[in-house]
Amino acid sequence: MSTALRVGVAGLGTVGAATVQLLAGQNAMLAARAGRLIEVTAVSARDRRKNRGADLSQMTWCDDARELAALDDVDVVVELIGGADGIARDLVEAALAAGKHVVTANKALLAHHSTALAARAEAAERVLAYEAAVAGGIPIIKAQRDGLAANRVLRLHGILNGTCNYILTVMRETGRDFHDVLEEAQRLGYAEADPAFDVDGIDAAHKLAILASLAFGRAVDFDNVHVEGIRHISPIDLAYAEELGYRIKLLGIAEDGADGVTQRVHPSMVAKTSPIAQVDGVFNAVAVEGDAVGATLFQGRGAGAGPTASAVVADLVDIATGRGAPVFGVPASALLAAQPAPMDRHRSAYYVRLMVTDRPGVLAEITAVFRDHHVSLEAVVQRARDPHGPVPLVFTTHETEEAAMAQSLARIAGFDFSLEPPRMIRIEAF
């Protein structure tokens, strides 16, 4: 058997500890599959005293993770620290400069710096692997880069954040409001103490930017991802969606069209009969449409210690066997420049909910605004009148341009009968 692949792990949180445990527990099986041993020789974390569920006594301990890059007995640095900059970025750059391969689960780092990091890795003839950075245990990076290599990807969409999917699922099933379910998700460990990256869509946007670059052969362009979160979704919207035949999901959607690359993360209504609508709880799913293969769907756990460690170790096996590929499927120098499509040119159908004062003429004024902006209405839903409170008015539209919807809703929001900001959700046809 060949010389062992020696691994340094930076970050021994839930994923880092699970990675060390998985490598130790599956040692013989992994050696058979990789043709050589894969062994952890060095680690770095802030607290030496914490029990990580594995024997670390024979490993070199680095108080500063950046020291891993200089160790002679480390061939691969596994970066599980997180964050777009700081120590994580310093470590990855230093490891590549020292001629070491890198495996990372850091989607923020990749969303902001991966084009430059890919060029560094290729110049050093080293692997930069990141299966664990997107969709946890779902092997979507290898599937897209390798399994679908014969295809030109036309479009992809997916549920890329399990926290949001869990919250929307529980809200739909129980009728509870967003803040109540978020607190439950935090107690269960599905949401962070500061949940902003998840519920405001940033985490999903990081992942979408990576997937879009891989799909379309363009430089990563996180700055031009349109991002909306789920804080404004209410039980009433979920109930109306069910009545109209839809489910609400936070989706990441990317498409390379005539106007450029569309990258958007936002709540979407999808038909209840569509495959993506059936993905509930903490699960993720990614649908990729290729010109030869057609529609494909990948589903599984998008986060958690075990699934993410599984993806990290899969990358290590690839490195151990000598399997490697350009970071984004083509050399970094061959990546096309980013070409963002303007969001105001986007076209789709829309769901709109208004809360209005119940008085004569309100509906006529609203429909006149839509008429003036060439927005064609498909349906209007109005419940029984409540003379003592606001009345919800729900509209669905035919396909129209985003700019026309934005202008319409801005005018409607200015009327004195409009009691809260209009709620708009795009309706996606998958």
Residue numbers annotated as active site: 207
Looking at residue 32, its amino acid is: A
Residue holding tokens 């004195």?
Answer: 416
What is the number of alpha carbons within 13 Å of residue 98 lying toward its C-beta?
21
Decide: residue 44, CB within 10 A, 0-12 exposed, 13-18 middle, 19+ buried.
Answer: buried
* C-beta atoms surrounding 385 within 10 Å: 9
What is the number of alpha carbons within 13 Å of residue 153 lying toward its C-beta?
28
- State the alpha helices, DSSP H only, in 227-374: 235-244, 305-321, 362-372
- DSSP-derived letter for residue 145 is I
Q: 252 near 207, Cβ under 8 Å? A: yes
Tokens of 175: 């009728």
Q: 371 near 250, Cβ under 8 Å? A: no
Tokens of 411: 């005018």
Which 3 state secondary structure label does DSSP give 2?
strand
Decide: residue 335, CB within 10 A, 0-12 exposed, 13-18 middle, 19+ buried.
Answer: buried
Which 3 state secondary structure label does DSSP give 24?
helix
Q: 183 near 258, Cβ under 8 Å? A: no
Q: Where are the beta strands (DSSP E) in 225-293?
A: 226-227, 246-257, 260-271, 283-290
